[in-house]
């Protein structure tokens, strides 16, 4: 899954397809002393009842990354917008947005069953938001206040 950013107080996952602002978001948060796990590919795991994200060496345009793992507290689906705003996503809507930004094993029924179960778990445990944003520093305080 793309674009993973975190801070001590806000551990969030920013998900987006190509051109949705993952590298922009990574740069903005990094400039404000946040740990960026990766702006393109991460690994998800369930650990002690929490969902964790881990950085990988496979990055996009933003090369400053960390391979450590952090628990996820919120998920944001990125879109460039004309103002900073969010819309809460729940249930099947959140799962479908997660699936559209994942790399599911379409060729493997067991793998797909596992993936859909994990995405359903994520959508049920974590608040998910569609995030329209302007590419400037104001988005950091906006996200921190959600």
State the pTM of this model. 0.81
Instruction: Say how far apart CA 119 and CA 79 lie, in whole Å.
Output: 20
Q: Which residues pair with 15 in a beta bridge?
A: 77
Q: 28: which 2 tokens?
A: 């903005």
Chain segment 94-127, per-residue pLDDT in tens: 999 888 888 888 899 999 998 899 889 989 999 9
Please tell me the predicted confidence (pLDDT) of residue 102.
Answer: 81
Model confidence band, residue 4 (pLDDT cutoffs 50, 70, 90): very low
DSSP secondary structure letters along 64-108: -----EEE--EEEEEEE-SS-EEEEE-HHHHHHHHHHTS---TT-
Please tell me the predicted confidence (pLDDT) of residue 55.
Answer: 64
Query: CA-CA distances (angstroms) from residue 122 to 73, 80, 108, 128, 142?
Result: 10, 24, 21, 9, 23
Please tell me the predicted confidence (pLDDT) of residue 31.
Answer: 81
Higher-scoring residue by pLDDT: 17, 109: 109
Domains and CATH numbers, the chain: 4-144 (3.40.50)
Chain segment 24-82, per-residue pLDDT in tens: 887 887 787 776 665 556 677 788 888 877 766 655 565 555 567 778 888 899 889 99
pLDDT higher than 90, residue 15: no
């Amino acid at each position: 899954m793309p674009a993973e950013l975190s801070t001590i107080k806000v551990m969030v996952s920013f998900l987006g397809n190509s051109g949705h602002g993952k590298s922009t978001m990574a740069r903005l948060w990094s400039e404000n002393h946040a740990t960026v796990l990766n702006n393109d590919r991460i690994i998800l795991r369930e650990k002690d009842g929490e969902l964790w994200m881990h950085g990988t060496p496979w990055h996009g345009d933003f090369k400053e990354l960390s391979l450590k793992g952090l628990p996820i507290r919120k998920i944001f689906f990125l879109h460039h917008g004309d103002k900073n705003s969010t819309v809460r996503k729940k249930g099947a809507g959140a799962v479908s947005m997660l699936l559209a930004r994942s790399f599911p094993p379409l060729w493997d029924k067991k793998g797909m069953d596992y993936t859909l179960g994990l995405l359903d778990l994520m959508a049920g445990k974590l608040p998910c938001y569609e995030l329209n944003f302007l590419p400037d520093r104001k988005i950091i305080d906006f996200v921190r206040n959600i």
